[in-house]
C-alpha cells in the first residue's frame, strides 16, 4: 500500500507592485464611456483586499510623470518586489524608458489596459511592453487588474525536491 501525502504549494510571488500610468488618477470621471465609472481608489482597494486574503504584500503607485515611474521600477528591485502589474496608459505607445527600466530590473510583469486598445485609434495599437511582458490583459475594464492579480496568485512554487527516498 502506498501512502499519499498532500503537498501544499505556496504562491511563488509574495510581493507585488501595481503601477498606474498617466491620467489614471482621473478614472471615474475621465471618459466614462471608455474607462467606466470605477475610480483608481476603488481598483486599488479591490486589489489590496484580494492580495491580503492570499497573504500577499501589494503596493500601488500612480504617476503622471515618466521619470517617477522609472524611479519606482528601479526601487522595486532593491525592495524585493517579485512581480509587477503595470498599466502604462499613454506611455504604452511612447516610452522606451519604461520598457528599458522593466528590462533592467528583470522583474516579470503583466501589462494591463482598461480599454481594448486595438479597437481604438491606430496610434494606440502598438505597445512597447507587450513583447517583453509575461502577458497582457486588455479591454476588460477595471476587472483586468483583478485578472492580472489572479494570474500572479496562481503561480505556485514548485514542491521541494525529495531527497532520494
Q: Is 128 a catalytic residue?
A: no
Query: Is 87 part of any known ligand binding site?
Result: yes
Q: Does residue 64 sit in helix, strand or coil?
A: coil
Q: What is the C-alpha to C-alpha distance for residues 66 and 48, in angstroms, rounded to an integer?
A: 24
* Interval 91-133: pLDDT, tens: 998 899 999 999 999 999 999 999 776 666 675 657 778 899 9
Choice among 13, 113, 128, 145 that is catalytic? 113
Q: Is 35 a catalytic residue?
A: yes
Instruction: Give me the pLDDT at residue 116, please.
Output: 74
For 64-88, b where at least 16 C-beta lie within 10 A, e where not — what string? bebeebbebbeebeeeebbbbbbbb
Instruction: Give me the pLDDT at residue 160, please.
Output: 55
Are the CB atoms for 129 and 111 separated by under 8 Å? yes
Q: Which residues in the chain land under pLDDT 70?
A: 1-11, 117-121, 123-125, 156-165
For the chain, the domains span 18-154
CATH for 18-154 (3.30.200.20, 3.40.50.720, 3.40.50.9100, 1.10.357.10): 3.40.50.9100
Whole-model pTM? 0.83
Q: What is the C-alpha to C-alpha distance for residues 130 and 153, in angstroms, rounded to an integer?
A: 21
Amino acid at each position: 500500500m502506498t501512502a499519499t501525502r498532500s503537498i501544499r504549494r505556496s504562491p511563488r510571488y509574495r510581493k507585488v507592485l501595481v503601477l498606474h500610468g498617466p491620467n489614471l488618477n482621473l478614472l471615474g470621471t475621465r471618459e466614462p464611456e471608455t474607462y467606466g465609472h470605477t475610480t483608481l481608489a476603488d481598483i486599488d482597494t479591490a486589489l489590496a483586499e484580494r492580495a491580503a486574503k492570499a497573504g500577499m504584500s501589494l503596493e500601488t503607485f500612480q504617476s503622471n510623470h515618466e521619470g517617477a515611474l522609472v524611479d519606482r521600477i528601479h526601487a522595486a528591485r532593491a525592495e524585493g518586489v517579485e512581480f509587477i502589474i503595470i498599466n502604462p496608459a499613454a506611455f504604452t505607445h511612447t516610452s522606451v524608458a519604461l520598457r528599458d527600466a522593466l528590462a533592467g530590473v528583470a522583474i516579470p510583469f503583466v501589462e494591463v489596459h482598461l480599454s481594448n486598445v486595438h479597437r481604438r485609434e491606430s496610434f494606440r495599437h502598438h505597445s512597447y511592453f507587450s513583447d517583453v511582458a509575461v502577458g497582457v490583459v486588455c479591454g476588460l475594464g477595471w476587472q483586468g487588474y483583478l485578472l492580472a492579480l489572479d494570474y500572479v496568485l496562481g503561480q505556485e512554487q514548485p514542491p521541494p525536491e525529495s531527497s532520494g527516498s
